[in-house]
Structure 1
């Protein structure tokens, strides 16, 4: 793997937020940062370097230089790359051997949540590397500092998702954040989807069923990251609703995408979280 982090930039404030978030992670992980701007005025079939003598090349260069200047962190190995091509194919190709791909988002003005855009959704569903859709700090539920205060990991304790857990622990530590592991204990399913309230006794049983596997994960990974503050919560409910609710007090939520389901499958939970979360979202593919 080419140990670098890629931030897709476009000259917008959302792109700058993505670049700064990526820079923080690159500093902690001690890897280079690539700022990639893709010009698609007349996208060729394959990605090619943009000629600086062309109008689109000049625009691309100015965007890259401004983003580099405006980034909060400058003590970092930063490479700016200007390419021409289809943004989906170019960014997917660039991210293939990177640690992660980071891009910006814009908030919705009418409904709760934010809009990752077709490019973000496509990359999250197709990339074999983690894809992070970043919101500007003032747009997150927690607001305030650009450093995340809480990273939420949505986890099925029975899954063997070491890549997902490792990404969450490392990302939280890099952000100077605490990590909250959220497990959704699914309520019973009844014919015709009738809603039947869960009794206190049933709630205890559902939570107890998930606890042993969760405690094993906590013990193992907390020993690897002893300085990271970690807590866990088991909530009875549907996973997408539980996770979206948990994002109200977080700055980043991490969800998984199973490779075994299909290389181009995002999954209902990840799709719901991308559209309705109140914070930035990381989609991490895992076996």
Structure 2
């Protein structure tokens, strides 16, 4: 089955930038693009409804025109792209999660209007990131134009979630024809002075641990993508988000897992995820297994 790329669109600048990235992703996958507008309040209630009217409101002409206009602009910029537009009577979070069951990728903007307000910074974004049945690409409005030759970056920490993220990042790098950069973020240098021997032992242990994790991840992705250029990059930072955000400055996409050990615990559901989603210098690919 040729799964589509799905993007939530509400006419806001954020969602339109997300739609552009979604179109690029669909072209890379030779997949159709579905523009989806969930036109009920996130809690499932239509704001314009009369409280005594138990029916579901019809799609608005304004939203339909917005979707048609967006589809026309995308097909003009991406010849050969097949675009389908759809309005769904449902909350935006639940709508995108349901659409993800049949999608290859869901793309969301980090800011929005109407039903998509606060994506990835509020309850809707958390819902999509936590419950999607396929990978989710988070795009911010200032992330244009789409870079052509930058590597795909993925955080490596030895967890199952990081392995899944590395596999999906490798596939994305192969589609784009760019290198894959494996990054392990270790602890920053100690502020207090350590005895020389103790400092050397600690540093050697860190280097050995990072090298082992990176080598394991590299061997796994090379087995599936033997022609892919893979680079290993151990870094030290005050925190995992800081290390990843700094490294993302030269990347096309930063891939992360939704669960992990150590610094990756709770990604996209807690403080680490908020920091990465808000401050990464490129789109963030949240890895999910296909269900």
TM-score for both structures, normalised by structure 1: 0.77
Give the Cα–Cα distance (whole angstroms) in 2 for the partners of residues 232 and 32 of structure 1. 34
Give the Cα–Cα distance (whole angstroms) in 1 for the partners of residues 246 and 219 of structure 2. 26
**Native 8 Å contact 1:95 1:127 kept in 2:** yes
Give the Cα–Cα distance (whole angstroms) in 1 for the partners of residues 133 and 230 of structure 2. 27
- Alpha-carbon shift at residue 187 of structure 1 (Å): 6.0
**Native 8 Å contact 1:125 1:264 kept in 2:** no
Give the Cα–Cα distance (whole angstroms) in 2 for the partners of residues 213 and 159 of structure 1. 12
**Native 8 Å contact 2:254 2:285 kept in 1:** yes
Match of 1:111 in 2: none
Relative to its length, the structure with more strand (as a share) is 1
- Alpha-carbon shift at residue 285 of structure 1 (Å): 3.3
Match of 2:126 in 1: 121
- The gaps in structure 1 that reach 5 residues or longer are 108-113, 189-193
Match of 1:64 in 2: 67
- The gaps in structure 2 that reach 5 residues or longer are 47-55, 113-117
Q: Helix, strand or coil: the match of 1:257?
A: coil
- Residue 280 (str. 1) matches residue 283 (str. 2): yes
Give the Cα–Cα distance (whole angstroms) in 2 for the partners of residues 60 and 208 of structure 1. 55
Alpha carbons of structure 1 residues 70 and 227: separation in structure 2 relative to 1, 3 Å: farther
1:52-106 residue CA offsets vs partner (Å, 9 max, x unmatched): xx5x421221111111112121312321111122112111111133222101234
**Native 8 Å contact 2:41 2:92 kept in 1:** no
Between 149-158 and 263-272, report the one with greater CA deviation.
263-272
- Alpha-carbon shift at residue 157 of structure 1 (Å): 3.0
Match of 1:248 in 2: 249
Alignment of 1:222-237 (within 5 A): 222-237=222-237
**Native 8 Å contact 1:183 1:233 kept in 2:** yes
Give the Cα–Cα distance (whole angstroms) in 1 for the partners of residues 60 and 92 of structure 2. 15
Give the Cα–Cα distance (whole angstroms) in 2 for the partners of residues 101 and 214 of structure 1. 28
1:109-137 residue CA offsets vs partner (Å, 9 max, x unmatched): xxxxx98432323311332322211134x
Give the Cα–Cα distance (whole angstroms) in 1 for the partners of residues 160 and 5 of structure 2. 27
Give the Cα–Cα distance (whole angstroms) in 2 for the partners of residues 168 and 65 of structure 1. 32
Give the Cα–Cα distance (whole angstroms) in 2 for the partners of residues 45 and 265 of structure 1. 26
Match of 1:171 in 2: 172
- Alpha-carbon shift at residue 264 of structure 1 (Å): 11
Q: Helix, strand or coil: the match of 1:211?
A: helix
Alpha carbons of structure 1 residues 90 and 180: separation in structure 2 relative to 1, 3 Å: same
**Native 8 Å contact 1:240 1:273 kept in 2:** yes
Give the Cα–Cα distance (whole angstroms) in 1 for the partners of residues 89 and 182 of structure 2. 40
Match of 1:31 in 2: 31
- Alpha-carbon shift at residue 2 of structure 1 (Å): 7.0
Between 118-127 and 94-103, report the one with greater CA deviation.
118-127
Match of 1:191 in 2: none
Match of 2:273 in 1: 270
- Residue 16 (str. 1) matches residue 16 (str. 2): yes
Q: Helix, strand or coil: the match of 1:258?
A: coil
CA RMSD of aligned residues (A): 3.6
Match of 2:103 in 1: 98
Give the Cα–Cα distance (whole angstroms) in 2 for the partners of residues 29 and 17 of structure 1. 19
How many residues align? The count is 266
- Alpha-carbon shift at residue 196 of structure 1 (Å): 3.8
**Native 8 Å contact 1:254 1:281 kept in 2:** yes
**Native 8 Å contact 1:126 1:263 kept in 2:** no
Q: Helix, strand or coil: the match of 1:79?
A: strand
Alpha carbons of structure 1 residues 226 and 2: separation in structure 2 relative to 1, 3 Å: closer
